[in-house]
């Protein structure tokens, strides 16, 4: 996202942007199958066991899916950033890394949190890519729930669903309270700054 916003003109930008956004429009079956075929080809070519189907391949698949969604969220925030804030920090002697850590990162922190929550919920919900990329002895919670639900609903599936709903409700409530507190603090700082002028 940072590259697509900050460096608007570079060779292959359209191709790079298309590759990052492709998982948004491709069916998950195609993504899972193509990743499986690619990983098998890499494993055969290198002879490495690193890409045996398991937790690593599931992680790579979820990373690919989540990266596309996170890029959209973070890119939307980066586009709205005022470039004068970063320029002012550089004028005051900040190096590029300092500008990113001290100016840009705090300004996109909410977008990063939103992107993390979105990708986490997508990963928690994903069955298709996990089914293609999981191997013997490695499975994800959605795959377990799906396999048990196919055999008929049992109390363990209901219990897991209830726990997930409770965790989501608590996280949403805590997040809302933290955001409201930050907004109140920001409003108080703005009013104090206006009174001081």
Q: What is the pLDDT of residues 35-82, one digit of tens each?
A: 889 888 888 888 877 777 888 888 888 888 888 888 888 888 888 888
Structure tokens at 110: 């909410």
- What are phi and psi for residue 2, nearest 5 degrees? -60, -45
103-119 average pLDDT score: 86
Count: domains in the chain: 2
pLDDT above 70 for 195 = yes
What local confidence, expressed as pLDDT, does residue 4 receive?
61
The residue segments making up the domain with residue 173 are: 155-197
Q: Of 119, 135, 152, which residue is a domain's last?
A: 152
**Do 73 and 170 share a structural domain?**
no
What local confidence, expressed as pLDDT, does residue 5 receive?
64
Cα separations (Å) of 22 from 14, 56, 64, 176? Answer: 12, 22, 10, 32
Rounded to the nearest integer, the mean pLDDT of the chain is 83
pLDDT above 70 for 126 = yes
**Do 134 and 69 share a structural domain?**
yes
**Do 127 and 187 share a structural domain?**
no
pTM: 0.72
pLDDT above 80 for 152 = no
pLDDT, one tens digit per residue, over 83-109 is 888 888 888 888 988 988 888 888 888
What local confidence, expressed as pLDDT, does residue 166 receive?
92
pLDDT above 80 for 16 = no
- Residue 73 is part of a domain; what is its CATH number? 1.10.3720.10
162-171 average pLDDT score: 87
What local confidence, expressed as pLDDT, does residue 39 receive?
87
pLDDT above 80 for 12 = no
Q: pLDDT tier at 7 (50, 70, 90 boundaries)?
A: low
**Do 193 and 145 share a structural domain?**
no
pLDDT above 80 for 187 = yes
Task: For the chain, give the DSSP string.
Answer: -HHHHH----TTHHHHHHHHHHHHHS-HHHHHHHHHHHHHHHHHHH--STTSSSHHHHHHHHHHHHHHHHHHHHHHHHHHS-HHHHHHHHHTT--HHHHIIIIIHHHHHHHHHHHHHHHHHHHHH--HHHHHH--TT---HHHHHHHHHHT---HHHHHHHHHHHHHHHHHHHHHHHHHHHHHHHHHHHHHHHHHH-
Q: How far apart are CA 83 and CA 90, in angstroms?
A: 11
Structure tokens at 40: 């098998």
pLDDT above 70 for 140 = yes
| Percent of the chain whose pLDDT exceeds 70 | 93
């Amino acid at each position: 996202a940072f590259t697509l916003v900050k460096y608007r003109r570079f060779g292959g930008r359209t191709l790079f942007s298309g590759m990052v956004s492709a998982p948004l429009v491709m069916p998950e079956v195609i993504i899972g199958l193509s990743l499986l075929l690619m990983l098998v080809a890499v494993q055969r070519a290198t002879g490495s066991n690193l890409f045996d189907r398991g937790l690593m391949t599931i992680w790579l698949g979820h990373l690919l899916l989540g990266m596309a969604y996170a890029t959209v969220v973070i890119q939307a925030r980066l586009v709205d950033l005022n470039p004068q804030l970063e320029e002012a920090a550089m004028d005051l002697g900040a190096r590029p890394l300092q500008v990113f850590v001290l100016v840009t990162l705090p300004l996109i922190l909410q977008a990063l949190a939103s992107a993390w929550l979105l990708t986490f919920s997508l990963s928690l919900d994903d069955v298709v890519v996990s089914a293609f990329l999981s191997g013997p002895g490695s499975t994800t919670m959605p795959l377990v729930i799906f396999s048990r639900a196919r055999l008929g609903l049992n109390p363990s599936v209901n219990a897991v669903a209830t726990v997930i709903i409770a965790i989501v409700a608590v996280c949403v409530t805590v997040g809302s309270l933290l955001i409201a507190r930050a907004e109140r603090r920001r409003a108080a700082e703005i009013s104090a700054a206006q009174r001081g002028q």
